[in-house]
């Protein structure tokens, strides 16, 4: 059995740990051969692979990014894309199964290929933690830890200068990173895409904190859209896929807080730092278990399925379960966090 791994979509701490888990389990337990497709689906479409002997994964669990490279290439695009061409390409390479490691877009592509009869299984990945089928994805814990550390540091300037500090974190559709990092850093307001909060309310929370002699900390997810933001969005521009540009919302929230409260306010965009560097131990363990679980899916010929964390168990679910809408922050979780806002 020869298994081809690919990592696709945004890089994420823990991708290398998945690769290591799959390679070690595949070789040690079943004597399988592992290879990696380079730069996501591009490597599949173009037949561009590297060998993954046991020595290639030594010490890899602690290394961020992906040794295979990644891209946002669509496997259905171009003259060599699509199920029939891909079937021919992998046959020529002697690859018997594909393990697609990626987020919503990657898994949607993997599902279409599996539905067309290709031997594809999946591993869910996103730092945003917004996939339905799994309680957690690796990369999320690392992003929350990095954001928490950054906010702890922002407090120094806030306290010394009596300023309000705003931290903009990732999360274009959901606010899990903002919610968890904000709660853990003791934020006085957390703004997420799922909840509409008027800037007057944010200003009130900030003023209450300032009045009792503390420096306010506001966490805003990049996808938060306050009332009346459309015009600003228009001015700042959009990414090609229609989402707000990183930095648009944090700047806006900062300006509005300053305007409404008169308190000096500064914005920090954490950006891709949240995806950089070594994964936390939680993410290393989860990613390793996902990599091993994916090899077991291949062993069982469970095409069209992916691994998922349910409680503390790694289980297998159909791709369609992961693609059944985004896992948003429930209102009850936001209300719980809100108890800690303002005064």
Question: Catalytic residues, which ones?
Answer: 128
Q: Considering the complex, what minimum distance in angstroms separates the CB of residue 222 from ligand F6P?
A: 6
Q: Which residue's Cβ lies closest to ligand F6P?
A: 170
How far apart CA 336 and CA 343 sit, in angstroms, is 15
For residue 171, state whether it binds ligand F6P (rule: CB under 6 A).
Answer: yes
Q: Look at strands 164-169 and 217-221 and give their pairing.
A: parallel
Q: Calculate the alpha carbon distances from 271 to 10, 222, 330 in Å.
A: 13, 9, 24
Helix (H) or strand (E) segment spanning residue 284: helix 281-299
Please pick, from the candidates 275, 284, 289, 327, the single residue that binds ligand F6P as defined by CB under 6 A: 275
Of 126 and 254, the one with the shorter C-beta distance to ligand F6P is 126
Asked if residue 137 lies in contact with residue 171, where contact means CB atoms within 8 angstroms, the answer is: no
CB atoms within 10 A of CB 331: 10
Structure tokens at 161: 């200068």
Structure tokens at 203: 């200003």
How far apart CA 14 and CA 65 sit, in angstroms, is 7
Site string for ligand F6P, 123-142 (x = CB under 6 A): ---xxx--------------
For residue 172, state whether it binds ligand F6P (rule: CB under 6 A).
Answer: yes
Of 177 and 307, the one with the shorter C-beta distance to ligand F6P is 177
How far apart CA 219 and CA 192 sit, in angstroms, is 9
For residue 106, state whether it binds ligand F6P (rule: CB under 6 A).
Answer: no
Of 6 and 23, the one with the shorter C-beta distance to ligand F6P is 6
Q: Look at strands 313-318 and 305-310 and give their pairing.
A: antiparallel
How far apart CA 166 and CA 316 sit, in angstroms, is 40
Of 33 and 128, the one with the shorter C-beta distance to ligand F6P is 128
Q: Is 256 annotated as a binding residue?
A: no
User: How many residues of this chain bind ligand F6P (CB under 6 A)?
Assistant: 10
Q: Considering the complex, what minimum distance in angstroms separates the CB of residue 9 from ligand F6P?
A: 7
Of 116 and 326, the one with the shorter C-beta distance to ligand F6P is 326
Q: Is 275 annotated as a binding residue?
A: yes
Q: Is 171 annotated as a binding residue?
A: yes
Q: Considering the complex, what minimum distance in angstroms separates the CB of residue 138 from ligand F6P?
A: 13
Pick the piece of the chain touching ligand F6P (CB under 6 A) from 80-88, 170-178, 181-189, 202-210: 170-178
Residues 6+ apart with CB under 8 A from 315: 307, 308, 309
How much is the CA Rg of the chain, to the nearest whole Å? 22
Asked if residue 305 lies in contact with residue 318, where contact means CB atoms within 8 angstroms, the answer is: yes
Q: Considering the complex, what minimum distance in angstroms separates the CB of residue 145 from ligand F6P?
A: 15
Q: Residues annotated in the binding site for substrate, as ranges?
A: 126-128, 163, 170-172, 222, 266, 272-275
Q: Residues annotated in the binding site, as ranges?
A: 10, 72-73, 103-106, 126-128, 163, 170-172, 222, 266, 272-275
Binding site for ligand F6P (CB under 6 A): 10, 103, 126-128, 170-172, 222, 275
């Amino acid at each position: 059995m020869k298994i081809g791994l690919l990592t696709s979509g945004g890089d994420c701490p823990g991708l290398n740990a998945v690769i290591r888990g799959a390679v070690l389990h595949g070789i040690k337990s079943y004597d399988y051969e592992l290879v990696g497709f380079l730069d996501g689906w591009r490597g599949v479409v173009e037949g561009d692979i590297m060998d993954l002997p046991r020595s290639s994964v030594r010490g890899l669990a602690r290394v961020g990014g992906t040794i295979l490279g990644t891209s946002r290439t669509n496997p259905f695009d171009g003259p060599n894309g699509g199920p029939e061409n891909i079937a021919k390409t992998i046959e020529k390479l002697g690859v018997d199964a594909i393990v697609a490691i990626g987020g919503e877009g990657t898994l949607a592509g993997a599902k279409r290929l599996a539905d067309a009869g290709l031997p594809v299984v999946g591993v869910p990945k996103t730092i945003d933690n917004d996939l339905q089928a799994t309680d957690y994805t690796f990369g999320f814990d690392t992003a929350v830890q990095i954001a928490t550390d950054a906010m702890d540091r922002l407090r120094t300037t806030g306290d010394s200068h009596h300023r309000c500090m705003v931290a903009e974190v990732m999360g274009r559709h959901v606010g899990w990173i903002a919610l968890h990092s904000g709660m853990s850093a003791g934020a006085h307001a957390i703004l997420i895409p799922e909840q509409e909060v008027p800037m007057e309310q944010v200003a009130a929370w900030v003023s209450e904190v300032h009045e009792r002699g503390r420096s306010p900390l506001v966490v805003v997810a990049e996808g938060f859209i306050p009332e009346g933001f459309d015009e600003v969005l228009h001015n700042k521009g959009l990414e090609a896929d229609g989402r707000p540009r990183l930095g648009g919302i944090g700047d806006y929230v900062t300006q509005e807080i300053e305007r409404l409260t008169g308190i000096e306010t500064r914005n920090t965009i954490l950006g891709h730092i949240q995806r950089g560097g070594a994964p936390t131990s939680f993410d290393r363990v989860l990613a390793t278990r996902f990599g091993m679980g994916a090899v077991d899916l291949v062993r069982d010929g469970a095409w069209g399925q992916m691994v998922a964390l349910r409680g503390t168990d790694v289980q297998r679910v159909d791709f369609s379960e992961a693609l059944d809408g985004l896992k948003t922050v429930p209102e009850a979780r936001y209300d719980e966090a809100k108890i800690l806002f303002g005064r």
